Each structure stands twice: as C-alpha cells, then as structure tokens.
C-alpha cells in the first residue's frame, strides 16, 4: 500500500479517488426495477409474482455484495480512501440517513393522520373497535431493552477500536449481533401471534408498515454490522481506518432512535388502558 500511495503522489496532484468504471450502479438500478415490478405483481396476485420478487431480492443482494467488496478492496488494499475521501464518504452516509428519516417521517405522518382524528368508518376512536392491541409491556418492552443494549455494546466496541483494544471490540460487536438477532426473532414471533393483520383497518396497515419497515432496517443493520465484524476479524479495521464501522454504528443508532418513537406512539399511545 505504501508503494501505491507513493505512485499516487507522483502522478496525482489531488487527494481524491477517481473511481474506475463499474457495472454495479446500473446493475443495482435494474435489480431495484425488478423488485418494484415484482412487488406490484405479487400484491395484485399475478402468477409467479412471489418468485420474481425473490429473484429481485437475490439480484440486489448479489450486486450489493460485489459493489461493497470493491469498496473494501479500494479502501483496505489499494489505499484509495484518503482523509478527503473518508470525509466525503461520511458526508454521503449522513445524507443517506437524512433520506431514511424522510421515509420514516412519511410513515409516522400516516399514523398520526389516522390516530389524531379517527375516521367515522373505524368508529371515531383509536385504536379502532375490535382490534386486539398488543401489550406494550410484553415483547415490545423486551425488544426495547435489547435494542438499546445493542446500541450501547456497539458504542463500547467503537471506543475499544479507537483505544486499540481489539478483543473488547470483538466482544462488543458479538453481543450487538446477538441482541439484534434476538430482537428480529421476537418481532417475527409477535407478528405471528398478533390478533390482526395488515388488512385489518388503517390501524393494521400503519402498524405493520411502521414496525415492518423498521424490522427491515434492523435486518439490514445486522448485516451491515456483521460485515464489519468479519472485517474486524481480518484486521481490516484499525484505530485510524474504521469509516465502515462508524457508518454501521451511525445506522444502528438511527434504528435505535426510530424504535423509541415506535414504542412510544405505536405501542404505548395505542394501548387502551394507558
């Protein structure tokens, strides 16, 4: 890597990374188009819509794996991630988090629009009559403890990396992944035991849309941290080279904060006895 940096300084008068032509942006666009069309076909009962949706998800996962592999190679082995490049990556990821905030804002907007002034079609009350609301002090409370604890452990791992304590960083990351997997399992169990579905009035729709979107982000965040864990085991992450880990931690804290809002409004506020 030192020789590569010396060559770059000799022939390149700026600290930025000029990215080589890549097939992954257009490939990811095509894969997302497949997922969108397949999702519409599946929701409208078209034949083979579910199979096509699974194919689209596999395509996206494959493209992302190859794309992120290239980014890891560029940053870890080729030394292309200079301080300026890392600053740009951090700003770009921050903007991505802002876009995610907007996505969840739209879901919360739908929730508050339906709950603050309940329509006469659902009895003029919230939650609607006949909806067996989930107990907020059962699985949702346990999941809150798990998710906040996982956030604390990944922060512990981050500080351990900065201090050069690799053993503690590995331990903190393992506990984070463990709690994340348990959270996802409990969320799936809660869905299976719920006395209503996404088609049961607007409450069922906004409940599953909000918690389901969050659950999807938990799964993505778990994979994100899992990749960083593998990189940590392979000595890719050091005290000065850990932008990927910091991005994963920022994403995970975003997931934590969103869950607090979900727990406060979707679970606690909707509980009839509170």
Contact 259, 108 (CB under 8 A): no
Task: Give me the pLDDT at residue 146, please.
Answer: 97
Q: Which pLDDT does position 8 carry in this prediction?
A: 55
Q: Count how many Cα atoms sit within 13 Å of the Cα of residue 78 in the half-sphere of its side chain.
A: 14
**Looking at domain 1-80, which of 1.10.287.70, 3.20.20.70, 1.10.260.40, 2.40.340.10 is its CATH number?**
1.10.287.70
Which of 9-18, 79-88, 261-270 is predicted with the least confidence, judged by mean pLDDT? 9-18
Model pTM? 0.88
Mean pLDDT of 132-140: 93
pLDDT per position as a tens digit, 153-206:
999 999 999 999 999 999 999 999 999 999 999 999 999 999 998 888 899 999
Phi, psi of 200 (to 5 degrees): -90, 90
How large a percentage of the chain has pLDDT more than 90?
68
Mean of the pLDDT values across residues 49-61?
92
pLDDT (tens digit per residue) in 94-124: 999 999 999 999 999 999 999 998 888 888 8
Q: Which fold has domain 82-274?
A: 1.20.120
Q: Is the pLDDT of residue 14 over 80?
A: no
For residues 38 and 22, give the distance between their C-alpha atoms in angstroms, rounded to a whole number.
Answer: 26
pLDDT tier for residue 7 given thresholds of 50, 70 and 90: low
In sign, the C-alpha dihedral spanning 128, 129, 131, 134 is: positive
pLDDT at 130 over 60: yes
pLDDT at residue number 253: 97
For residue 11, the model assigns a pLDDT of 57
Instruction: Please provide the average confidence, as pLDDT, over all residues in the chain.
Output: 90
Where are the domains positioned within the chain?
A: 1-80, 82-274
Nearest to 108 by CA among 266, 267, 216: 266
Res. 263: pLDDT tops 70: yes
12: Cβ contacts below 8 Å, ≥ 6 apart: 18
Check whether 268 has a pLDDT greater than 90: yes
The Cα 46–Cα 9 span in angstroms is 57
Model pLDDT, residue 4: 53
Q: Residue 3 pLDDT more than 60?
A: no
Mean pLDDT over 9-22 rounds to: 72
Going by pLDDT thresholds of 50, 70 and 90, the confidence category of residue 274 is low
Q: What is the pLDDT of residues 78-94, one digit of tens each?
A: 888 888 888 999 999 99
Task: Provide the token pair at 120.
Answer: 């006469």
What pLDDT does residue 94 have?
95
């Amino acid at each position: 890597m030192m020789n590569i940096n010396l060559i770059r300084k000799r022939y390149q008068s700026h600290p930025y990374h000029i990215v080589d032509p890549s097939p992954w942006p257009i490939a990811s666009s095509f894969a997302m188009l497949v997922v969108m069309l397949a999702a519409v076909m599946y929701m409208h009962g078209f034949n083979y819509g579910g199979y096509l949706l699974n194919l689209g998800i596999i395509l996206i996962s494959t493209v992302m794996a190859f794309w992120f592999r290239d980014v890891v190679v560029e940053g870890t082995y080729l030394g292309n991630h200079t301080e300026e490049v890392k600053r740009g990556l951090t700003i770009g990821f921050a903007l991505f988090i802002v876009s995610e905030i907007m996505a969840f804002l739209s879901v919360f907007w739908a929730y508050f629009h339906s709950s603050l002034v309940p329509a006469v079609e659902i009895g003029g009350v919230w939650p609607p009559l006949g909806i067996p609301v989930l107990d907020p002090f059962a699985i949702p409370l346990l999941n809150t403890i798990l998710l906040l604890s996982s956030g604390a452990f990944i922060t512990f791992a981050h500080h351990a990396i900065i201090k050069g304590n690799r053993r503690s960083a590995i331990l903190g990351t393992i506990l984070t992944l463990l709690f994340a997997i348990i959270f996802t399992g409990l969320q799936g169990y809660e869905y299976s035991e719920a006395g209503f579905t996404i088609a049961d009035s607007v409450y069922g729709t906004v409940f599953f849309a909000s918690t389901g979107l969050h659950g999807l982000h938990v799964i993505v965040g778990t994979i994100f941290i899992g990749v960083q864990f593998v990189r940590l085991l392979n000595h890719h992450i050091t005290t000065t080279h850990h932008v990927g880990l910091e991005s994963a931690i920022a994403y995970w804290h975003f997931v934590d904060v969103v869950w607090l809002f979900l727990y406060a409004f979707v679970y606690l506020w909707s509980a009839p006895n509170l």
